Amino acid sequence: MTAGPDRGDDRAATGSDVSADTATVAVHGLGYVGLPTAALFANNGHSVYGIDTQPDKLDRLRTDGADFREDDLNDYVDRVLDTEALRLRERPVESDYHLICVPTPFDHDRNVADLSYVRAAAEGIAPKLRPGDTVIVESTVPPGTTANVVGETLERNGDLLRETFNLAFCPETVLPGSILDELRNNDRIVGGIDDEATAAARDLFAGAVDGEIHTAPDAATAEFAKLAQNTHRDANIAIANELAAVARDHGVVPRPAFELANEHPRVDILRPGPGVGGHCLPVDPLYLGQHSDHVDLIERARAVNDGMVDYVRELLEDGLGSLAGTRIAVFGLAYKGNVSDTRNSPAKRFVDQLVETPEMVATDGGEGSVDVRVHDPHVDSADVDLWSGPAALEGADALVFMTDHDEFDDVDPEAVAERMADDVVVDARGLTDESWHDAGLDVRRL
Ligand code: SAJ
């Protein structure tokens, strides 16, 4: 097929008059963005195909339903699986809309985004693509990927020229811990490779989400905006982390100082912590360096955040004098409070490094490796042995708070002091107050 002189007419003549409200939607990749997204459209009256190349995952979904740590989200997904408004498939099918929700990990060896899953999804969609259909990329990608990589892959592997179908980018916005709420209510950005594509993507999302739909001038701008959001957050956490370390050098406890600073109407210092984890913030800023020589502060912010694990360890070593032969209770393995996710978790890295610490001899003659006891009420499968809170504290020389789970607010400092053999507490998450000092504990706070 060859493209007609008028792109709009070409598409209208070949079927782009499908109403976005009743259109079929195929979601490619049923991870923790794709599956909720498929459920969103299925719950809004669309006939949806959920496509994933892993048959095991589909079987599990069919038999056990969704297993997010958010009950309302599980119900939301299970409902449409039961009614077959969401149907599961291993291979791509024809559909009015195709949403690409596959992972885009960062390839640290080559210093580029690994787009192999995006390419594979586009290769699968291409033969099923009909004139007037719309392909929307949701996976986080370097600017230019939708138009160039996805557009070219679709053209190369199918019969259509890109003038005859719609191609757009609409970034996902799910926040682990409140996926359903953010999926339904957040504003969305859409940017197509031309106006028709932008309009087609906008119409689909406008019918399903309560937030506003903001249209970008093109796909690359939408791609950039997504990366800018997470880069902005990462860099702002880095300034909080650096300020916290500087505050401690000045003998100032960081958080109360930040609260005072934040009284100013244009100041909003974020929370310092042991670093930044999850599948987005530690990775997305790196995508910006792929086609730009001007990335500087962004990379240094990444390094500051990654360096916080070492800083927490320094606080611990300062408190104990030496790690040789010590027992350390670590509270929290997840990358942030109230989630079970340990991807890129600073707590996980901290624990791994402690466990790998070789046997040492302390200046006082004590010796041995570090006995690390990890307690996390949200994490149930990890390649780390997990302990109950009291067992982890029994005879411990130090307690380190690495994750701000709500459960840790209720930890009683008197009970901690009673169980521990020594008195060092490193609080990387701002969970302790004066009562911890009053209980006789030596608290080092970020
Ligand atoms: N963190 C701090 N201090 C803070 C805030 C966060 O140390 O003040 C740490 C957290 O403990 C965690 C990391 O940063 O380790 C990231 O947590 P987060 O809650 O800031 O973000 P994510 O990675 O869970 O989700 C982000 C969100 N992006 C923004 O807020 C700009 C989310 O809205 C996106 O949908 C998500 O990335 C995504 O999928 O891109």
Average pLDDT of the residues in 82-94? 97
- Bigger pLDDT: 254 vs 5: 254
Q: What is the pLDDT of residue 176?
A: 85
Residues with a CB atom less than 6 Å from ligand 1: 172-176, 229-230, 233, 237, 270-271, 273, 276-278, 280-281, 335-336
Helices (H), 207-293: 219-249, 254-261, 284-287
* 358-367 CB contacts, 8 Å cutoff, 24+ apart: 359/324, 360/322, 360/323, 360/324, 360/325, 361/324, 362/321, 362/322, 362/324, 362/325, 363/321, 363/322, 364/321, 364/322, 366/322, 366/324, 366/325, 367/324, 367/325
Class of domain 308-445: alpha beta
- Bigger pLDDT: 2 vs 124: 124
Q: Whose CA is nearest to atom 14 of ligand 1?
A: 276
pLDDT digits (tens, 9 = 90+) for 106-159: 998 988 999 999 999 999 999 999 999 999 999 999 999 999 999 999 999 998
Q: What is the pLDDT of residue 17?
A: 58
Q: What is the pLDDT of residue 290?
A: 86
Residues in the chain: 446
Q: Give the distance (Å) from ligand 1 centre to CA of residue 281.
A: 6
pLDDT digits (tens, 9 = 90+) for 165-185: 999 999 998 888 899 999 999
Q: Give the distance (Å) from ligand 1 centre to CA of residue 277.
A: 8
DSSP structure class, residue 359? P
- Give pTM, 2 decimals: 0.92
Which residues have a Cβ under 8 Å from the Cβ of 21 and sit 6 or more positions away? 45, 207
Q: Which CATH architecture has domain 228-306?
A: Orthogonal Bundle (1.10)
Distance CA 61, CA 78 (A): 9
Q: What is the pLDDT of residue 228?
A: 97
Atom nearest to 344 CA in ligand 1: 15
Q: Whose CA is nearest to atom 5 of ligand 1?
A: 271
- Checking if the pLDDT of 314 tops 60, the result is yes
- Bigger pLDDT: 8 vs 238: 238
Q: Among all residues, which ones are annotated catalytic?
A: 226, 280
Least confident of 290-304, 370-384, 388-402: 370-384
Distance CA 156, CA 436 (A): 64
pLDDT digits (tens, 9 = 90+) for 192-237: 999 999 999 999 999 999 999 999 999 999 999 999 999 999 999 9
Average pLDDT of the residues in 384-395? 95
Q: What is the pLDDT of residue 382?
A: 63
Q: Which of 186, 224, 233, 340 to mutate to test the pocket of ligand 1 (most atoms within 8 A of CB)?
A: 233
Considering the chain, what percentage of its residues have pLDDT values greater than 70? 94
pLDDT band per the 50, 70, 90 thresholds, residue 7? very low
Q: Which CATH architecture has domain 19-217?
A: 3-Layer(aba) Sandwich (3.40)
Report residue 273 as tokens: 């912590």
Atom nearest to 234 CA in ligand 1: 14
Q: What is the pLDDT of residue 375?
A: 97
DSSP structure class, residue 378? T
Q: What is the pLDDT of residue 434?
A: 95
Q: Give the distance (Å) from ligand 1 centre to CA of residue 181.
A: 16
- Checking if the pLDDT of 18 tops 90, the result is no
Domain pair 19-217 / 308-445, same fold = yes
- Where in the chain are the domains? 19-217, 228-306, 308-445
Mean pLDDT of the chain: 93
- Checking if the pLDDT of 433 tops 50, the result is yes
